[in-house]
Structure 1
Amino acid sequence: MVRSARLDAGPAANDGAAPQAGALVLRREALQRLQQHRELRLIVVQAPAGFGKTSLLQQYCELRAAQGDAVAWLRVDLHCADASQFLRALCEALRGGAAPRGRGARRPSTLEDLASLLRAQSGRLLLVIDNFEQASGAALDGLLGQLVRLLKPGMQLCLGTRVLPGHRLSRLLIEEQSLLLDAEALRFSAAESTEFLRDSAMLSAREITELHERCDGWPAALQCLRLCLRRGRSQRSLAFAGRGITPELIDFLAAEVFEQLAPELQSLLLELCVPEKLSAALVEHISARGQGREQLARIEKAGLFLAQADLQRHWYRFHNLFRHFLLARLRSETSDQEMQARHGRIAQWYEQHGFREEAIQHYLDAQRQDEAARLLSQIIDSLIAEERLGLVERYVEQLPVDSLLASEALCEAAIIAYGFRRSFDKAHRLIERRAAHLQTQHADAHTLARHHSTRLFVLAAQDRIEEMGQCAGHCLQHLDARDGYRYAVSLNARSMACVGRSDFDQARSLCLQARPLHDRERHLFGQAYQEAIHAMTLSAQGRIVDAQRCLSAALHHTEQEAAGSVSAGSVLAAYLAEACYEQNRITEAEGLIHDYAQLAEQQAIADPLAVMLLTQARIAHLRGDEAEAEEILERLLYLGYRHGYTRLLSYARAEFVRQATLSGDLDRAERRLRELDPEHDATLAGPLLFHAGENEAHGISLARYLIHSGRHAQARTALQAQIREARQQRRRRRELKLSLLLAISLHNEGREAAARRAMLETLSLGTPQEFIRSILDERAPALRLLRELGGGLQQLPELSERDSLQAYLEHLLREAGDKPLPAPACQVARPPSAELLASLTEREKRLLRHVATGLSNRELAERLSVSTNTVKWHLRNIFEKLQIGNRVQAIALARHLGLID
């Protein structure tokens, strides 16, 4: 079974016939290699233009289809650089090319759609994506990794590409079982060149060998020579001229081929080269001659570099080398007015058939900007919702500024695209011009607030959070829920500023107001940011598990509903990866980083971008790869300088100090600390505190260095002040880290009792499911404290939380690779007798059940409506009757007696 789809699938019907590659040479050796590796999940066919990648892939499709395998084919173009379009076209290919007529009628596809289609596939499947270099981009790098992971056994992804775009594909070639066929593997062998030139009877075997060597097996060059030789012996000098085949000679040979064609055919070629792809119906519209399919067949039969672009032969394309030659010839012979008229006619056909994006571009090339703006206004909301910001920017750059200023939708879309693609100067110029335009129109406060809500996107992208919060407050005075996503985005922006000021209650309240608005508007971009902000408030207050659960659900929803791998998904993935790292789930964190890091670099705001790269650097450092960790942090510095993100510079420098200190290289740490200069760093001295920096850059890197340098008094003075401040701000996550460093400092000075108290305070702030790496990353000093505390915890005065602390401590040591702590000496060696059990009253048994759940004395008193003294009295009685001495033993006995599971 053969399936096929194009991003621009046309109206022609599928005749059901198996496609024919139409090649003159069967690539037996290359096909044999592909057939030998049919079990691999990934094959990449990579070579420059003219090496026959598409022909080879079509032959491979025919071979696999003849063997009964399902085949899906996708050839991509520039529109596929947007993840949503690429994903939709991919899903259409897997469905067999079935889609509503015209692009405007198609629903955006999601990752969940793709996963469902692959799950539903039974039997073997070959999925071919040709011309993949056109889909280069951070969004598609992540999507490609997700696609490969979704493939079941028996499924194979085959990519045809001129280059290896992005590091993700290169990484997949290394990490996955894969095969790379490069230009050397695609060059014609001497035997293939002989077969290709078999209809040139005038050539001797020696001459064919000479041509093969001169062309170095380059199929495109051999095709040009073959066409020249068809014209007789007079053209032999062209074939043997010069010392080698170059692109310039290809142009010359193409011109020679073109000059010998009938004038009617020359005219037809020049007419048809303007659109990037052709269908029979489009050919009839352009040429006004009818019989479009016959005209395409005539060109293909003549060998004039026309190839099918899909397996059903709906769409065709000229080879790029030949098309560029034809376009250059057409422009040299045609006036600007005539070229514009041609583009206009093509635009009309595209619009009539529902292909609005192609129509827009041809209207722009026709200098019919009003028509382009009209069509763009119809689809601009969906382009923004799908985060096709590159396409939006490309379109608006070609429109007159007056057209943008006159349209609220187009102007807002342009500002958002400029902001998140970090063209800040362009964004602010357009904001100012739009504001001035509204002033001349005597716009009211509500209209101006709608405009200023768009400014929030740019301020967020520039990391001007305090200013963004103020702007959001102004917008909220004039907007309400009827303003939809503008009001919701203003709530998001205000809540982000509240997080920076540690006003978590207000931040959560604003998020709760924004959530239903984002749901109603299906504004996944704003919804994902709202969920990320909400998770920040949870994490800062020590609720890592709740934050992780929130982020996981939000990312799952985004991947199910979003049309492609949107940048909002990278924001969620950044914080989720950091939460997984904190919980010591390193493999999960790495998977999220691999899928979303490049996308975060491209469009995410500063805080999640810093979180993503810092987590990646810490994982590398944890694995002992200091070179990779340093490379990642240098990347963070580069992005900070490039985009003017001073926070990124501070965070990267602080992380350099952290890693050097933990590695024991105090000289390097001191040099890095001078670069950080925490006393004069404006970012670290500012009033706002965010997730990426609260547990390291803001004072903690310096305190750790002071401790390792032996300057404990100075470190403790700073730590104690910061602990008080963190407690006041209810930043439990930060308080835990500061308390841990205080305990380490006290322990290093030999003040063991004070160190144990500080360590107990640290453990009381966390739970086994939440804070792991925050403690274990401090390495030997933290582990020594944990081991010593574990050995003596039972001898400490009775603590209501001792059982939970013991469980937390043992969990940390297990995660660090330590063996379980030995049981306390007073541990019951044998189960209690029936007489001892019978001595308990029903109330005491009920109390024992509650103790086993980990409730403190105070919580037990509240649950039983008695005083804490009464609880203590009952516990003493229980312990005496059962001949035990502490809560740990009580829990063990309760489980043994069947009082708890």
Structure 2
Amino acid sequence: MTQPDLGALHEGLIASKLAPPMQDPRAISRAGFVARAVDGLPLRRLIVIVAPAGSGKSNLMTELHHAFVEQQVAATWLGLDAEDNDPATFALYFISALQAIEPGFARDELTALGANPVRDYDTLFDRLGNRLSALSTPGAIFLDDFQHLSDPGILRFLDRLAAHLPHHLSLVIASRHRLPLHLAKLLVSGLVTEIGQEDLNFSSSEAEEFLSRYHQLQLSSSDLQSLIDSTEGWPTGVQLAALALRRHKGPAAELISTFSGRDLDLTRYLVESVLQAQPEHVRSFLLQTSPLRRMRADLCAAATQQGDAQAMLDYIGQANLFLIALDREGQWYRYHHLFAEFLQHAFRKIDPAGYRDACFRAAQWCEVNGYPTEAIRYALDAEHFELAADLIAHHAIRASLFRGDHYTVRDWIRLLPVEFHTRRPEILLSHAWSCAFSRDTTRAMEVSQRAIDLLSAEQPRAWDLSTSERDRWLLWAHTVQAATKACSDDIDDCLTRATALFAQVPGTEPFLIATLSNCLSYGYFALRNFERSREYALSAHEQGHRADAAYLSAWGDFLHGMIDVELGQLRAASSLGQRVHRDSQGLGLGQQSYVAGLSALLDAEIAVQHCDFDRAMTHIEMGRAFKEIFGPVEPQLVALRNEARLHASRNRLDLAVQVLQEGQDAALREQHRRLYLALAQEEASLQITAGDITGAAATARRTRLLDAESGNDIASRAQRDALKLMEARFKLAYGDAKSALRLLTTLQQTRGAESCGGFFLTVTTHRAIALWDLGQQKEAARQLNRALSAAAAEFHAYPIFAAGRPLLPVLAFISERRADASTQDLKPLLDLQQWLASNLRGDRGAIHTEEAFPARAATETVESLTSREIELLRLLQAGLTNQKLADALLVSVPTIKWHLHNIYSKLAVGSRGAAVAAAVRLALI
């Protein structure tokens, strides 16, 4: 039987909900329904089973599921309960279930939900619907206990799914109540198979077979008919009557005659007859285990305080007391919903304190045995909110701040009454952190400020903290606010807060140091101050590992890698991407995907910069999730920009524009002005590259792109320079090469421009085009050669390639003068030159970058080392320590480590001595 990859489930999900119950070999087959359902598969169809509890819906669903699988149709299963009537929870389970039909289905959305709960569920469900429409594998989706769903967003999604089922997909739904879906048109079209209560009721022959198989009962024809009449063939009614008959001392007719098939109390009467017929210790066990959503022997022993739990479970199973196995090993069970509901109601009525005590003991067992989510839910069922709050306080900091498991933390907080949110500072701070990283930064600031106010009060309510503890938690709270400002892209405020806090945090707090280092690195990266950003990224990596917070280290390495990309050091960036991936191994399965997403974003960026779009695609699939769930702007920008560039590389400018405009809409909703402008620039740039000048002009007008510089919100030099570059591209497109050259010359002469990698390459390339348009062919060739020489060692092709076809005449001019050049020293440059010319002409087969790039790694040229790195090599030769190197160069020790990292990478060495030897051999020093 096809099953989803349960090993990869989010930590909070219950695997047994994603598998059908075990088929009971004694079950009465509904072969007629099954035969009609699978006839002519695969075909689009909707099967709806609506009947009261105990009608055999789940048994029929299980039989149908088995039949679909036997017909080579991939079938998935989702058993719903009341907690699934939440869009985030439903989406997590629904996507996880769909893995049985197509492994990896909606991986982006699943990764996103596992990391953070999104808030725009309509958009999420629309995307799921589109992905389902694209399925070609024959499949069937089974949704059991649909009556638990009433959320409007979930129902809208399922309505659309039912109305627009792909040809090879079937949907099978079972519910106690009439479906709140709009099925009229489908019914008229004959696409719906309806199965109701009357269809499921036992006939006399089926009831006779059931009584014989399950209970070894033989009734006379008249008694059997009386039983059918009194229960109306209701399967559970027959089952409960049989249990009562087995214990009844008199004639069967005597008991049967007291039943009324239309008696509203029939269910309670029959169940009470069964319950009261059990020995006291069995009755007590049934009641005390009724609160358990799922159970096994040791959990039952804890809840009941009885030592014979396994024997009791064996007895209950043999006695057919509505016990359902959830796995093949017979470790986990649950009661039939009807039976469990009755038992819970009876237990609450008979002994409300006992019910709460059983839940309390279950919570304690789950806490000790590693089921924190269930422990918290049982504590809430017990109305023991103090325990629930303490459990949340114990687990939430690690889950949220150290592992980034924001979905679980927000779910816990949702279930905890508001008045208990302030029981411990850990609850407030983990809640605020998870809100910040779930695009709810306003709420994050409110919650963290509440913690600060309580910690700053003379006598913090219910917090028995020493002065040092209060000071420590205040530092944590302010650090959470600094991180929140980073997530909301309030860069100036983030840097101000983080800088002040960084000076206050003691060295004994590596988590806070790593967090603040990431805040500072992120802020300086946004301002394109790469030197400062790199210094703090190194600190974040080191301190994150000291704190055992791998995802903080991964963030530092991600930022570090993005700096490498910006500076054109793609090989060094690639090694950092691998390090992020290694960091992810230390986290749980759900968070491994989360941190691996950072690695995927970085890998996609590197592949795009190499113009290796085929390789980029594999990474974009995973990294795309961040545009949906992650707060900070930079990961969203990387994900959206590279997805758009991938579409553009395949001549699908329409899809590229769609991706970027959807991102702009989201940026406006989240009030991320910087992201909005960057995406608008990317849209116009891709349109200019594709020759769609009219479209680019429309984009500029719609987004007010070219007049944005006059706005007060354009504060950073990096943003102003990007807009000047955009203006220059427009002037070139309109034939005003002279004005364009003036702007580009100013940008090229900006302090530090030549060390800014991709930006320098873009400016220099467009300056070459402007010079060519002005008739200055030799100077144009010199400018382009300058860009080619800087990019060749790392095959940093995209900034040059993105200039588009206007570059072709300049490339042709250079090629003519290099016709006889074939030296090994020029090979990287000639490879890049040839690749650009071929691909800009539309011939994509000349050189495959994935093959060419590794070959160049062994033939690194002198040009790849900066003057600062060569100066450092000379000092290395003198044997200076890192501190003395830092003093000599007037930089920090982390910056020295960074330079050494780059030198080792470029020279393909692993030590100081080897670096000096290589430099001497290459005549660098």
TMscore range, shorter length? 0.5 to 0.7
In the other structure, the counterpart of 2:221 is: none
In the other structure, the counterpart of 1:677 is: 705
In the other structure, the counterpart of 1:763 is: 788
In the other structure, the counterpart of 2:317 is: 297
Give the whole-Å Cα distance in 2 for the aligned partners of 1:221 and 1:186: 22
Whether the 8 Å contact between 1:450 and 1:475 is mirrored in structure 2 is no
Give the whole-Å Cα distance in 2 for the aligned partners of 1:187 and 1:852: 61
Q: Which amino acid aligns with 2:704?
A: L
Give the whole-Å Cα distance in 2 for the aligned partners of 1:415 and 1:370: 20
Give the direction of change, closer, same or farther, for the CA distance of 1:525–1:348 in structure 2 (3 Å limit): same
Whether the 8 Å contact between 2:764 and 2:783 is mirrored in structure 1 is yes
Give the direction of change, closer, same or farther, for the CA distance of 1:700–1:402 in structure 2 (3 Å limit): same
Q: Return the offset for 1:753.
A: 1.9
Whether the 8 Å contact between 2:684 and 2:696 is mirrored in structure 1 is yes
Counterpart mapping for 1:44-63 below 5 A: 50=57, 55-56=62-63, 59=66
In the other structure, the counterpart of 2:810 is: 785
In the other structure, the counterpart of 1:635 is: 662
Q: Return the offset for 1:552.
A: 3.0
Q: Deviations over 1:761-786 (max 9, x none)?
A: 22122125432222223321123322
Q: Equivalent of 2:433, from 411, 416, 427?
A: 416
1:721 aligns to 2:746 (yes or no): yes
Give the direction of change, closer, same or farther, for the CA distance of 1:45–1:819 in structure 2 (3 Å limit): closer
Whether the 8 Å contact between 2:111 and 2:594 is mirrored in structure 1 is no
Q: Which amino acid aligns with 2:707?
A: E
Give the direction of change, closer, same or farther, for the CA distance of 1:401–1:82 in structure 2 (3 Å limit): closer
SS in 2 for 1:702: helix
Q: Equivalent of 2:524, from 487, 495, 498?
A: 498
Structure 2 portions without partners, runs of 5+: 15-21, 51-56, 115-123, 143-161, 163-168, 174-189, 208-223, 236-260, 277-282, 460-466, 847-857, 872-925
Q: Equivalent of 1:390, from 381, 393, 407?
A: 407
SS in 1 for 2:651: coil
Whether the 8 Å contact between 1:606 and 1:645 is mirrored in structure 2 is yes
1:342 aligns to 2:376 (yes or no): no
In the other structure, the counterpart of 2:693 is: 666
Counterpart mapping for 1:280-679 below 5 A: 292-293=312-313, 296-297=316-317, 300=320, 307-317=324-334, 322=338, 330=345, 342-353=355-366, 354=369, 355-384=371-400, 385-399=402-416, 403-441=420-458, 447-559=473-585, 561-564=587-590, 565-674=592-701, 675-679=703-707
Q: Deviations over 1:167-188 (max 9, x none)?
A: 4697488477564467986879
Q: Return the offset for 1:339.
A: 6.1
Q: Return the offset for 1:223.
A: 3.9
Give the whole-Å Cα distance in 1 for the aligned partners of 2:191 and 2:303: 39
Whether the 8 Å contact between 1:47 and 1:53 is mirrored in structure 2 is no
Give the whole-Å Cα distance in 2 for the aligned partners of 1:441 and 1:48: 62
Give the direction of change, closer, same or farther, for the CA distance of 1:492–1:20 in structure 2 (3 Å limit): same
SS in 1 for 2:333: strand
Give the direction of change, closer, same or farther, for the CA distance of 1:535–1:427 in structure 2 (3 Å limit): same
In the other structure, the counterpart of 2:242 is: none
Q: Return the offset for 1:224.
A: 5.8
Q: Which amino acid aligns with 2:708?
A: H
In the other structure, the counterpart of 1:844 is: none
Q: Which amino acid aligns with 2:29?
A: V
Give the direction of change, closer, same or farther, for the CA distance of 1:606–1:625 in structure 2 (3 Å limit): same
1:232 aligns to 2:241 (yes or no): no
In the other structure, the counterpart of 2:834 is: 810
Q: Which amino acid aligns with 1:293?
A: L
Q: Return the offset for 1:619.
A: 1.0
Give the direction of change, closer, same or farther, for the CA distance of 1:618–1:45 in structure 2 (3 Å limit): farther
Q: Which amino acid aligns with 1:258?
A: T
- Between 1:622-631 and 1:402-411, the stretch displaced more is 402-411
Q: Equivalent of 1:258, from 267, 271, 280?
A: 267
Give the whole-Å Cα distance in 2 for the aligned partners of 1:741 and 1:51: 67
Give the direction of change, closer, same or farther, for the CA distance of 1:446–1:629 in structure 2 (3 Å limit): same
Give the whole-Å Cα distance in 1 for the aligned partners of 2:426 and 2:197: 47
In the other structure, the counterpart of 2:761 is: 736
Q: Return the offset for 1:217.
A: 5.0
Give the whole-Å Cα distance in 1 for the aligned partners of 2:102 and 2:270: 33
Whether the 8 Å contact between 2:438 and 2:631 is mirrored in structure 1 is no
Give the direction of change, closer, same or farther, for the CA distance of 1:284–1:502 in structure 2 (3 Å limit): closer
1:776 aligns to 2:780 (yes or no): no
- Between 1:706-715 and 1:253-262, the stretch displaced more is 253-262
Q: Deviations over 1:792-832 (max 9, x none)?
A: 23599x999866533431243355565999xxxxxxxxxxx
Whether the 8 Å contact between 2:607 and 2:613 is mirrored in structure 1 is yes
Give the whole-Å Cα distance in 1 for the aligned partners of 2:785 and 2:372: 65
SS in 1 for 2:589: coil
Whether the 8 Å contact between 2:488 and 2:631 is mirrored in structure 1 is no
- Between 1:362-371 and 1:564-573, the stretch displaced more is 564-573
**Relative contact order, CA 8 A, sep 6+: which one is greater?**
1
Give the whole-Å Cα distance in 2 for the aligned partners of 1:131 and 1:660: 38
Give the whole-Å Cα distance in 1 for the aligned partners of 2:625 and 2:47: 22
Give the direction of change, closer, same or farther, for the CA distance of 1:626–1:397 in structure 2 (3 Å limit): same
Counterpart mapping for 1:695-710 below 5 A: 698-710=723-735
Give the direction of change, closer, same or farther, for the CA distance of 1:360–1:166 in structure 2 (3 Å limit): farther
Whether the 8 Å contact between 2:521 and 2:532 is mirrored in structure 1 is yes
Q: Return the offset for 1:392.
A: 1.0
SS in 1 for 2:270: coil
1:25 aligns to 2:29 (yes or no): yes
Give the direction of change, closer, same or farther, for the CA distance of 1:338–1:694 in structure 2 (3 Å limit): farther
1:686 aligns to 2:703 (yes or no): no
Percent of counterpart pairs with the same letter? 16
Give the direction of change, closer, same or farther, for the CA distance of 1:279–1:727 in structure 2 (3 Å limit): same
Q: Return the offset for 1:622.
A: 1.8
- Between 1:480-489 and 1:745-754, the stretch displaced more is 745-754
SS in 2 for 1:699: helix
Give the direction of change, closer, same or farther, for the CA distance of 1:179–1:262 in structure 2 (3 Å limit): closer
Give the direction of change, closer, same or farther, for the CA distance of 1:45–1:739 in structure 2 (3 Å limit): farther
SS in 2 for 1:478: coil
Give the whole-Å Cα distance in 2 for the aligned partners of 1:369 and 1:857: 62
Give the direction of change, closer, same or farther, for the CA distance of 1:595–1:2 in structure 2 (3 Å limit): closer
Give the whole-Å Cα distance in 1 for the aligned partners of 2:780 and 2:684: 24
In the other structure, the counterpart of 2:888 is: none
Give the direction of change, closer, same or farther, for the CA distance of 1:375–1:584 in structure 2 (3 Å limit): same
Give the direction of change, closer, same or farther, for the CA distance of 1:358–1:772 in structure 2 (3 Å limit): same
Q: Which amino acid aligns with 1:745?
A: A
SS in 2 for 1:746: helix
Q: Return the offset for 1:139.
A: 5.7
- Between 1:174-183 and 1:488-497, the stretch displaced more is 174-183
After superposition, the CA RMSD in angstroms is 5.4
Give the whole-Å Cα distance in 1 for the aligned partners of 2:35 and 2:574: 47
Counterpart mapping for 1:91-240 below 5 A: 140=110, 167=127, 171=131, 174=134, 179-180=139-140, 216=193, 218=195, 222-223=199-200, 231-233=227-229, 236=232
Q: Return the offset for 1:430.
A: 1.6
Whether the 8 Å contact between 1:492 and 1:529 is mirrored in structure 2 is yes
Whether the 8 Å contact between 2:522 and 2:533 is mirrored in structure 1 is yes
Give the whole-Å Cα distance in 2 for the aligned partners of 1:420 and 1:819: 41
Q: Which amino acid aligns with 1:660?
A: Q
Q: Which amino acid aligns with 2:229?
A: R
